[in-house]
Chain A
Amino acid sequence: MGVGFLIAVLPLVSFLLAGFGVLFGWKSFKRRSHYFGLVTVGTSLFLSFYVLFKVTKGVVLTEEWFNWVISGGLSASFGAYIDSLTAIMLVVVTFVSFFVHMYSIGYMHEDPGYDRFFAYLGLFTFSMLVLVLSPNFLQLFFGWEAVGLSSYLLIGFWFKRKRAADAAIKAFIMNRIGDFLFILGVVAVFWVFGSLDFHKVFSQAGAVSAATLSLISFLLLGGAVGKSAQFPLHTWLPDAMEGPTPISALIHAATMVAAGVFMVARCSPIFDGGYILPIVGAIGVITAFGAATVGLTQFDIKRVLAYSTLSQLGYMFAALGIGAYVYAMFHLFTHAFFKALLFLGSGNVIHAMSGEQDIRKMGGLYKYMKITAACFIIGTLALVGIPPFAGFFSKDKIISAAYANGHLVFWFFLVGGALLTALYMGRLVFMVFFGEERFDTREMKHLHESPAVMTVPLIFLAVPSIFAGFLGGWFEEFLKSSIPNHVREISHSAELLLITITVSLALLGLLIAAVIYYWKKISPEVFTESPVLRPIYLLLYNKYYFDEIYNFVFVRGVAFGLGRIYAFFDKYVIDGIVNGVAYFTSWCGEVLRLTQTGVVNNYVAYFGIGVVTVILLLLLV
């Protein structure tokens, strides 16, 4: 036990308190359920800073909470292993979670499931903290699954809406595919190393053949791809928008999707030893560029942000793939702040528009909600990578590292992605906050800035979105104590050139967006309606038809075809056997019950039979 235990368990306390309130319908808990969350996660946040402070002095904290069952050499211990990597994650998770809690007080204010929401939030935070604290693969897997479960609950929070329920199931199933590979990976680790402890496994990783390590890292990567919504398992994340907006902020910024990146960084000794890294990089680059192209065409404010998350996670995976683990984590770190900021900002917009999410029906909102707009623009600039905002430093490091390590194809597409990012984020900002007002008078009436409880979190998140980038040097030094960073040195002038290219492309992207959507010099129809570009536009608008393809091949094809065969077999063979057995069993019960006459004489007779039976048994054996 120790401070790590407290950090992880406090949100669980919040979950239990709020959860009991829900379960037993305690009225007095309902309106107060946010207190549990704020106090516990706030304390966790404070403790996380304390831990971070301790770890910066070069200490690695280890704790053992309890040993569960030990059998056959498998020890299932729960505990904490806090090095710089974990310390950073703790701060990020609790920081974002705390402000999401605060924000939810306003956003979920009128929802009948107010207390349930806070209960789930506590569970979600707890799961993620357990995950990042884990000192072994088993706890990692526990946290991994717990995160999946709580995301399922939260995405399907409004389960009465069919779309929300569908999205929750989709997220769960897509994650299961990844998790299946992941658990195989964990088993493989145990098989090969005879232990699940990070320390033992990583210290022996050098002695294992590269082929074995490749297999393990491939399986683990499967889990990461599912959880971090990378190509080709990315389709659940945009649909996860059906959950309440604060949840989207939490999922996209700090908890769920960060888990994959964190896990790969944590397992860097295994990934470094195998041949898998180029695949990681390729997946990252494909997602980074592909998602950015889709983001250009979407009209739902949250969907655009969702594709931007996919794209940014792609950057992180690209960084992992070229061996720049620290840069991947740094991007995760900065991204957490501005993505939470953007989502909460979009929540304010949706709140003000009374639930409208289509950006074609917005416009000119700057006038009505200045704080939200200002914060949203800060987040946008950070995401686009305009200096000196946070995203500039982290993204630029990844792009430069791709160049420095000689991955020129990666570099090309990542730079292209940066241009596209500027384009779709510029489009979003101009369409939502500027230009003519396209909403009708009904929405106009209660158009207002959100209450302080929903704007203060934005301001608090805006601060690190502006300044977190300057921590880059410290961050790099700090994290190098736990994870490697294989980046070749390049000359200063070359680096300057690369920065210039990236930044100018980002600015160019914003400029194009302004030309089309602010000054309206060119109509977007020029692109969407022209006979050459229209098929491409449709391809992007329909997200490369991934959903349709998956639906056709797996859901209708494989599942439906096999399903019919199984259904037949199930109905006539299995059910026959099962019902037969059940019938026979219950018949036996009936027959035996006839012996239960309630007459004492019979019982005494049975007694006599029993004595004789015992004698016979003694003689026979």
Chain B
Amino acid sequence: MGLNLKLLFPEFFVLASAIVGILIDLFLPKRVKNGFFATFSVFILFVSVFLVIFSSPFVPETAFNSFVKKDLLTGLSQVLILFSSLIAVFVSYGFLKKFDTDYIGEFYYTLLFAVFGAMLMVSANELATLFVSLEVMSISVYILSALFKKDYRGKEVALKYFIMGSVGAAVVVYGFALLYGLSGSTVYEEVGRAISTLSFPVLLSLALVISGFLFKLGAVPFHGWTPDVYHGAPTPVTLFMGAVVKIAAFVALLKLFYPVFLPLVSEWGEVFAVIGVVSAFAGALMALRQENVKRMLAYSAISHTGVVLAALVSLPAVAIFSVLFYLFAYAFMTVAAFGFISLLTGKGFSGENISDWRNLYSRSPFLALSLVVIFMSLAGIPPLFGFWAKFYILVALVKAGKVGVAVAILVASAISLYFYLRPVVYAFMKEGEAVLPPVEPFEFGAVVVTVFFLIVFGLFPELISQVSLFALSSFLRGMI
């Protein structure tokens, strides 16, 4: 018990840096802003990675009277969040050079606020903290979507996202309120003690909380906003949404559901399995005919979310492990894919459509090969990272006796192969001329690094599975 302030040092560091960013923004001339803030953010995020690594305890520790609890699961997901944000900053630097905005400083420090929200969200051990951090992250992302000049899509999307987000927040907060009413506390462990059977208030609160999370994760039928927002938001922001928001939401879900709703695990597990299979199918089917790659990837994200949700029906420890592994792979793939799109995007959003990638191979063999790695990894083709992620989930499902779910996911993956192969076909086999804007070195570097990891972790999946096992054991220690 007690305050134990130093545990939250990494979060405070990011928060303080964001505030310092606001102040600096007042004094800097516009032309140096992009370079300065990009360097600044990279520095902050980089330092935070080390702070997180050195401050994450194996034996779980709490702070602020158990409002926050940190273990290796938290630490690992924070590293992942920071890594994805780092790539997002690299990509943003190039993107901001190509697309003008008056709010360069705002863009970067809002991004840092969003990172802070995500980091706090995965450490939350209490309903109000969870809600506040969720809102910090979400509102920052709404702002990020709307910052670009002459970008009517972004403004429309920000509003849409904001309205939908408000509905989601309302639902979640009703759920939390009910839980507080049931238990008289908002700390997870104490709320958990009040829940044993599926009485009506528990049912209602559980349904509302599940709905809120499913909305944030973009699962069917809460997915309506996903394609519009993914498509309309500036690509670096989409990258951030796709990777960071999803990691934060999934880890927060794991950290909330297992301690609080453990007695009902079979009930909500089944719900997630049903929703997951439906999402996996719906996402794959709707992606089939998409011409815009960002939109296609939005549907693919729905499909991937479905796969991860379905994994929650397997035995708890195995489920957490396979979800964690999948998040790792998914973060790298998402970051790589959107980084790649951002790299190819030029004036007037050219390069976002599949047809803009015709014969990319002859323009740039390296980019074409990166494209193969990224999309084949998303499709789950061995020996790439995405394959192992899917593999572990399928193994977990089969071990838990859910062969039907596993087969359904396999079929959905088979369908999804079609649309993952289409960009490859266009890049290698279609006649035409790819539209390639001048290559921004930082965007390029981001793509190279992530593609490299997709291959390396595909060849040596033990590297990640070991780390995930550590995180799992640390998390389970906190449950006892």
Interface positions of A (Cβ within 8 A of B): 23-25, 66, 69, 585-586, 588-590, 592-593, 595-596, 598, 600, 602-604, 606-607, 609-611, 613-615, 617-619, 621
* B218 CB, nearest partner CB in chain A, Å: 11
Q: How many Å lie between the Cα of A462 and that of B265 in the bound state?
A: 77
Q: B366 at the A/B interface (Cβ < 8 Å)?
A: yes
> What are the residues of chain B within 8 A of A613 when measuring CB–CB?
221
Q: Is the CB of B225 within 8 A of A603?
A: yes
Select which of B160, B207, B270, B285 is within 8 A of A611 by beta carbon. B207
Q: B253 at the A/B interface (Cβ < 8 Å)?
A: no
> What are the residues of chain B within 8 A of A609 when measuring CB–CB?
221
Q: How many Å lie between the Cα of A606 and that of B214 in the bound state?
A: 12
Which residues of chain B in 367-395 are interfacial with respect to chain A, using CB atoms and an 8 Å cutoff?
369
> What are the residues of chain B within 8 A of A617 when measuring CB–CB?
270-271, 274-275
> What are the residues of chain A within 8 A of B222 when measuring CB–CB?
606-607, 610
Q: Is the CB of A593 within 8 A of B286?
A: yes
Q: Is the CB of B365 within 8 A of A24?
A: yes
Q: B267 at the A/B interface (Cβ < 8 Å)?
A: yes
Q: Given contacts A600-B160, A614-B211, A618-B203, is CB(A585)–CB(B167) below 8 Å?
A: no
Q: Is the CB of B285 within 8 A of A615?
A: no
* A578 CB, nearest partner CB in chain B, Å: 12
Q: Is the CB of B167 within 8 A of A588?
A: no
Select which of B203, B214, B288 is within 8 A of A615 by beta carbon. B203
Q: Given contacts A596-B224, A611-B207, A611-B211, is CB(A618)–CB(B286) below 8 Å?
A: no
Q: Given contacts A23-B365, A610-B214, A610-B221, is CB(A604)–CB(B203) below 8 Å?
A: no
* Chain B minimum-CB-distance residue to A69: B461
Query: What are 22 A-B residue pairs whose CB atoms fall within 8 Å in the complex?
Result: A25-B365, A585-B415, A589-B287, A590-B289, A593-B286, A596-B224, A602-B224, A604-B163, A604-B167, A606-B223, A607-B164, A607-B167, A607-B211, A610-B222, A611-B207, A614-B211, A614-B271, A614-B275, A617-B275, A618-B198, A618-B271, A621-B270
- Give the residue among B163, B206, B211, B268 with the most A Cβ atoms within 10 A: B211
> What are the residues of chain B within 8 A of A590 when measuring CB–CB?
289
Q: Is the CB of A596 within 8 A of B214?
A: no
Q: How many Å lie between the Cα of A611 and that of B219 in the bound state?
A: 12
Which residues of chain B in 251-286 are interfacial with respect to chain A, using CB atoms and an 8 Å cutoff?
266-268, 270-271, 274-275, 282, 285-286
Q: Which 8 A-B pairs have the closest CB atoms?
A: A603-B224, A621-B270, A589-B285, A589-B288, A610-B221, A615-B207, A606-B221, A617-B271
Q: Is the CB of B285 within 8 A of A585?
A: yes
Select which of B168, B171, B286 is within 8 A of A596 by beta carbon. B286
Interface size of B as a range: 35 or more
* Chain A minimum-CB-distance residue to B298: A596
Which residues of chain B in 154-183 are interfacial with respect to chain A, using CB atoms and an 8 Å cutoff?
160, 163-164, 167-168, 171
* A99 CB, nearest partner CB in chain B, Å: 33
Q: Given contacts A589-B285, A596-B224, A615-B204, is CB(A610)–CB(B211) below 8 Å?
A: yes
* A614 CB, nearest partner CB in chain B, Å: 5
* A586 CB, nearest partner CB in chain B, Å: 5
* Chain A minimum-CB-distance residue to B214: A610
* Chain A minimum-CB-distance residue to B273: A621
Q: Is the CB of A588 within 8 A of B285?
A: yes
Select which of B211, B271, B366 is within 8 A of A621 by beta carbon. B271
Q: B424 at the A/B interface (Cβ < 8 Å)?
A: no
Q: Is the CB of B282 within 8 A of A592?
A: yes
> What are the residues of chain A within 8 A of B365 when measuring CB–CB?
23-25
- Give the residue among B204, B221, B286, B461 with the most A Cβ atoms within 10 A: B221
Q: Is the CB of B289 within 8 A of A593?
A: yes
Q: How many Å lie between the Cα of A585 and that of B369 in the bound state?
A: 29
Q: B208 at the A/B interface (Cβ < 8 Å)?
A: yes
Q: How many Å lie between the Cα of A292 and that of B181 in the bound state?
A: 95
> What are the residues of chain A within 8 A of B266 when measuring CB–CB?
621
How many A-B residue pairs have C-beta atoms within 8 angstroms? Tell me: 92
Q: How many Å lie between the Cα of A596 and that of B224 in the bound state?
A: 7
* Chain B minimum-CB-distance residue to A595: B224
Q: Is the CB of A618 within 8 A of B211?
A: no
Q: Given contacts A596-B227, A607-B167, is CB(A618)–CB(B268) below 8 Å?
A: yes
* Chain B minimum-CB-distance residue to A619: B203
* A595 CB, nearest partner CB in chain B, Å: 8
Q: How many Å lie between the Cα of A614 and that of B273 in the bound state?
A: 12
Q: B228 at the A/B interface (Cβ < 8 Å)?
A: yes
Q: B210 at the A/B interface (Cβ < 8 Å)?
A: yes
> What are the residues of chain B within 8 A of A25 when measuring CB–CB?
365
* Chain B minimum-CB-distance residue to A586: B288
> What are the residues of chain A within 8 A of B167 when measuring CB–CB?
604, 607
> What are the residues of chain B within 8 A of A600 when measuring CB–CB?
160, 163-164
* Chain A minimum-CB-distance residue to B460: A66
Q: Is the CB of A607 within 8 A of B215?
A: yes
* A334 CB, nearest partner CB in chain B, Å: 40
* Chain A minimum-CB-distance residue to B160: A600
Q: Is the CB of B288 within 8 A of A614?
A: no
* A171 CB, nearest partner CB in chain B, Å: 27
* A20 CB, nearest partner CB in chain B, Å: 9
Q: Is the CB of A607 within 8 A of B198?
A: no
* A209 CB, nearest partner CB in chain B, Å: 36
Q: Is the CB of B225 within 8 A of A611?
A: no
Select which of B163, B225, B275, B286 is within 8 A of A592 by beta carbon. B286
Q: How many Å lie between the Cα of A109 and that of B193 in the bound state?
A: 80
Q: How many Å lie between the Cα of A42 and that of B234 in the bound state?
A: 53
Q: How many Å lie between the Cα of A621 and that of B285 in the bound state?
A: 27
* B170 CB, nearest partner CB in chain A, Å: 10
> What are the residues of chain B within 8 A of A602 when measuring CB–CB?
224
* Chain B minimum-CB-distance residue to A588: B285
> What are the residues of chain A within 8 A of B461 when measuring CB–CB?
69
Q: How many Å lie between the Cα of A69 and that of B210 in the bound state?
A: 37
* A109 CB, nearest partner CB in chain B, Å: 26
Select which of B224, B225, B267 is within 8 A of A618 by beta carbon. B267
Q: How many Å lie between the Cα of A607 and that of B223 in the bound state?
A: 8
* B195 CB, nearest partner CB in chain A, Å: 13
Q: How many Å lie between the Cα of A24 and that of B363 in the bound state?
A: 10
Q: How many Å lie between the Cα of A617 and that of B264 in the bound state?
A: 13
Q: How many Å lie between the Cα of A477 and that of B1 in the bound state?
A: 76
- Give the residue among B167, B168, B369 with the most A Cβ atoms within 10 A: B167
> What are the residues of chain B within 8 A of A588 when measuring CB–CB?
285
* B460 CB, nearest partner CB in chain A, Å: 8
Q: How many Å lie between the Cα of A607 and that of B282 in the bound state?
A: 16
Q: Is the CB of B207 within 8 A of A606?
A: no
Q: How many Å lie between the Cα of A230 and that of B268 in the bound state?
A: 64
* A121 CB, nearest partner CB in chain B, Å: 22
> What are the residues of chain A within 8 A of B223 when measuring CB–CB?
606
> What are the residues of chain A within 8 A of B214 when measuring CB–CB?
610, 614
- Give the residue among B208, B267, B288, B415 with the most A Cβ atoms within 10 A: B288
> What are the residues of chain B within 8 A of A618 when measuring CB–CB?
198, 203, 206-207, 210, 267-268, 271
* A323 CB, nearest partner CB in chain B, Å: 42
* Chain A minimum-CB-distance residue to B268: A618
> What are the residues of chain A within 8 A of B215 when measuring CB–CB?
607, 610
> What are the residues of chain A within 8 A of B210 when measuring CB–CB?
614, 618
Given contacts A589-B286, A610-B222, 10 further A-B pairs with CB under 8 A are A66-B460, A590-B289, A592-B286, A596-B286, A600-B160, A607-B164, A607-B167, A611-B171, A614-B214, A619-B203
- Give the residue among A585, A600, A606 with the most B Cβ atoms within 10 A: A600
Q: Given contacts A596-B227, A606-B224, A617-B270, is CB(A611)–CB(B415) below 8 Å?
A: no
* Chain B minimum-CB-distance residue to A581: B415
* A358 CB, nearest partner CB in chain B, Å: 40
> What are the residues of chain A within 8 A of B274 when measuring CB–CB?
617
* B340 CB, nearest partner CB in chain A, Å: 18
Q: How many Å lie between the Cα of A602 and that of B163 in the bound state?
A: 12
* Chain A minimum-CB-distance residue to B208: A611
* A78 CB, nearest partner CB in chain B, Å: 12
Q: Is the CB of B288 within 8 A of A24?
A: no
Q: How many Å lie between the Cα of A303 and that of B289 in the bound state?
A: 55
> What are the residues of chain A within 8 A of B285 when measuring CB–CB?
585, 588-589, 592
> What are the residues of chain B within 8 A of A586 when measuring CB–CB?
288-289
